[in-house]
Amino acid sequence: MITATVIEPALSADLLERVLAKLGLTEQPGLDLTGLNSLYAAFSGNVSNDNIQKRIWFAGERTKPVTGGDPIEFFENWLFHGTGGTCFPVNNAMYTLVRSVGFDVRRIAGSIIMEGFEQDANHGSVLVTLKGVDYLVDAQIASFKVLPLVPGQTASTGEGIHDIKAVPVEDGFHVIWYAHNREQPIPFHPAAEYDPVDHAFFLTRYDLSTSNSRSPFNESLYICRRFSDSILTLGRNNKITVASDNTVTTTELTDEERLRVLVEEFGISEKTANALPPDVPGGTGF
């Protein structure tokens, strides 16, 4: 499914160099599976999944489109403020980065299957094709290793807390992954009718997500950062740490402690952390 033709965002040579440098990559990755995994692992471990820019937008006048949907804006915010994004902006940024490096890449959409939320194309993702094989390169799932999607075949990225699996179903795949709740899997079902979609589609879906009926990321802070040996999540003043052995520790924070954790542990600029509005009491979200 392709919407009306739009100009594809592209990273300038200077911006691409700055992004790769902050990711810890001293040179552009090779255009093979090793290079793709190197780029994806760097992104997975350095770019958070968060709604910080979205929450700040909600607190403002809302006269402009919701912040972060454009990849150029996304990366400038990440470089200066440390912020990431929810699925549509973070995967739009991933798509643009991978495309700028030179891979054969496309945007797709499908459904994260969560009770209580609309499931029609509620999640945007990214596929890269190498030697005829599609690989899931999803910046929100952030599995550090890309997942091959071969029709009819089960696949896995490996072992450990970042492992994800592709399980064949009648109309494609369920991609099984976990967030901070290690007992509740989160299935993602890529939909054939949304393969491929374009930049305008991602922007439109991100804008639609500002409706409370479409997103759990509108009324309270959510941020998740994946490290090689742990997963750190913060939501509604609860800090949740998943250790390498899958042990989960939850710590309740004061407002002052939350600010410190955002700055010192997640890498968010102090100015941006201070600009966050209070969570909506009793609202939806994590």
pLDDT tens for 122-159 read: 999 999 999 999 999 999 999 999 999 999 999 999 98
For the segment 219-246, the average pLDDT, to the nearest whole number, is: 96
Supply the DSSP symbol for 219: S
pLDDT at 116 (0 to 100): 64
Position 2 pLDDT exceeds 80? no
Alpha helices, DSSP H, located in 171-282:
199-208, 255-264, 270-275
- Summary mean pLDDT of the chain: 94
Q: Which two tokens mark 182?
A: 């290690």
Q: Which among 49, 21, 25 has a CA at the least distance from the CA of 39?
A: 25
pLDDT at 143 (0 to 100): 97
pLDDT tens digits, 153-174: 999 999 899 999 999 999 999 9
Beta bridge partners of 227: 230
For the segment 28-33, the average pLDDT, to the nearest whole number, is: 97
pLDDT at 4 (0 to 100): 46
In CATH, what class is 13-216?
alpha beta
**Contact of 255 with 183, CB cutoff 8 Å:** no
Position 5 pLDDT exceeds 60? no
At residue 1 the predicted structure's pLDDT band, cuts being 50, 70 and 90, is very low
Q: What is the rounded CA–CA span in Å between residue 154 and residue 182?
A: 21
Return the axis-axis angle of helices 13-22 and 71-81, rounded to nearest 10°.
40
Q: What's phi and psi for 96, nearest 5 deg?
A: -65, -40
Longest CA–CA separation in the chain, Å: 51
